Amino acid sequence: MSTARTIPVWMSINTPPGGWSDLPSAKALDVAVVGAGIAGLTTALALLREGRQVTVIEREGVGAGETLRTSAHLSNALDDRYYTLARQHGEDGAKLAAASHAAAIDFIESLCRDSVDGCGFQRIPGYLFGHDGDVSQLEKEAEAANAAGVRARLIGAGDEAPAVLGPLLRFEQQARIDIGAYMRHLAQEVRDAGGRFVRAEVTNIEGGSTCRIVFRDGSTISAQTVVAATNVPIHETNATYMKQAPYRSYVVAGEAPSNLADALYWDTADAYHYVRLFRDGDGKDWIIVGGEDHKTGQDDDPTAYVRLQEWTRERFPDAGPFTHAWSGQIIEPVDGMAFIGADPDNDNVFLITGDSGNGLTHGTLGALLVCDLVQGRDNPWTQLYDPARKPVRAAGEWIRENANAAFQFRDWLKPSAIGDADDIPLGGGAVLRRGVHRVAVYRSGDGELHAFNARCPHMGCVVRWSGEEKSWDCPCHGSRFEGATGAILNGPTSEPLAPMEWKE
């Protein structure tokens, strides 16, 4: 089970190389990495190369969380803009951000050199263009990016890209990758280095001189060190969930247009659009276009994929037909920097979360940073990404995001959108009222009703129905649940929706 029903262009990896292993019955683990996405596997590989014994614990498959739901841009031209990062983290912080993401791309490139097929890695330029023709933001970002050590220069409309995009800010030494091929290679590297893969669902991590990991079936195991690489922490910690917010982003893929150079593209819209090309194993060229982001559980929008196709055809008329569409979860920290490092609430537990739309590079640099911290080494990025930091300069954004989350509790008082389960179509869902309770009811294709307590187990918000992914999504902190079973798709919840009886 992936975290969503829609299917990306990337190949899935249900079973790691060499298959799944059993947990040892009594022996404590050296290092346990929870999550087999890019952050978890890169951490595992880095620590294995240090001589540590590493067990990767994964609920589903390699990259089955959010890693394989990306568009696979590799960039240190960050989404939050360097002029914003310099204001929030200082000029030195912006330089460290640029350097850390560049180091992540370098690490990925070095690993791809050792693969048979290169994993589709290619250094290419990146282009930022104005969504409304205004170049002032591009000029401002050019100055800030160069000050941070990122090579960027303004070029004229039509010089290197279709004129319809207008003037562009060109960033050097960006990259793209086939993330499915890379994750297969990364998993093989972990296996070859002696890593163990265990399939199990973790429900809690308790820090201490020896950490304790709790599983869905109630069993436990201890570990000297635990790395929580689960996109968002699912264990009991207050370090991050009020300092970051979940967003849903949408992606479409179709036949590539003839007039588009191999590069990365973004615009300055809010929410912004992002574009790249991809050549699959059969030699077919694709255009991948994403955007139309919204807060998870809010503004459910069945036309997002249509709007992405329309936006693309306005700029690249011969793109398509579009054959793939999918969505993914983005975790936005209020000050633009991920939360990576020691969990301040749990000794010997380390966090990698807050991808901010740059998940592949954040996950990779996060692994390099955590490896140093676990091994007791200094790292210049530690303070910038510290999960315990107080985002003082982003106080306004912190207030807005948390006020937005609190506002969603109004759903307990609002009337139901529909009054009766008979009005729920096949494949549809709705939250109905039964006395003081809110009940999440889904009608499967065979007409059977599946009912759950609509209270999100994390903090008590009422979940909402997502027609795109057939899931119940929490509008407060982004927990998501499978429509027919109530099973967890995304944290921070550690518990599924509670089933309820429903009689028509």
pLDDT in tens, 34-65: 999 999 999 999 999 999 999 999 999 999 99
- Per cent of the chain over pLDDT 70 is 96
Query: Coil, strand or helix: which one is 401?
Result: helix
Taking CA atoms, 49 is separated from 190, 194, 224, 319, 349, in Å, by 9, 10, 18, 44, 20
- CATH number for the segment(s) 29-70+181-242+336-400: 3.50.50.60
Asked whether this chain's domains 29-70+181-242+336-400 and 245-260+272-333 adopt the same fold, the reply is no
Q: Which two tokens stand for residue 378?
A: 């200094």
> What's residue 404's pLDDT?
72
Q: What is the pLDDT of residues 429-464, one digit of tens each?
A: 999 988 778 999 999 999 999 999 999 999 999 999
Of the candidate CATH numbers 2.102.10.10, 3.40.50.300, 3.90.1570.10, 1.20.1300.10, the domain formed by 414-490 belongs to: 2.102.10.10
What does pTM read for this prediction? 0.95
Q: Which two tokens stand for residue 396?
A: 């306004």
Taking CA atoms, 282 is separated from 12, 42, 90, 240, 324, in Å, by 17, 28, 46, 42, 16
Asked if 346 contacts 234 with a C-beta cutoff of 8 angstroms, the reply is no
Pairing of strands 202-206, 211-215: antiparallel
The one-letter code for the residue type at 147 is A
- Average pLDDT of 357-372? 96
Instruction: Name the band, by pLDDT with cuts 50, 70 and 90, for residue 356.
Output: confident
Is 417 a residue whose pLDDT tops 90? no
> What's residue 79's pLDDT?
87
Asked if 480 contacts 234 with a C-beta cutoff of 8 angstroms, the reply is no
Q: What is the pLDDT of residues 203-258, one digit of tens each?
A: 999 999 999 999 999 999 999 999 999 999 999 998 988 899 999 999 999 999 98
- The domains of the chain are located at 29-70+181-242+336-400, 245-260+272-333, 414-490
Query: Coil, strand or helix: which one is 76?
Result: coil
Phi, psi of 451 (to 5 degrees): -120, 145
Does the domain at 245-260+272-333 match CATH 3.30.70? Answer given as: yes
The gap between the terminal CA atoms of the chain, to the nearest Å, is 29
Phi, psi of 270 (to 5 degrees): -130, 100
- Average pLDDT of 397-406? 67
Instruction: Name the band, by pLDDT with cuts 50, 70 and 90, for residue 422.
Output: confident
Residue 171 backbone zone (phi > 0: left; psi -120 to 50: alpha; other: beta): beta
Q: Which two tokens stand for residue 148?
A: 């941070």
Minimal CA–CA distance to 175: which of 115, 231, 110, 129? 110
> What's residue 44's pLDDT?
98
Is 1 a residue whose pLDDT tops 60? no
The position carrying tokens 């998940």 is 359
Query: How are the residues of the chain apportioned to helix, strand and coil, as percentages rounded to the nearest 5?
Result: 25, 30, 45
Residues 40-71, buried b or exposed e (16+ Cβ, 10 A)?
A: bbbbbbbbbeeebebbbbbbbbbbbbbbbbbb
- Average pLDDT of 175-201? 97
- Per cent of the chain over pLDDT 90 is 81
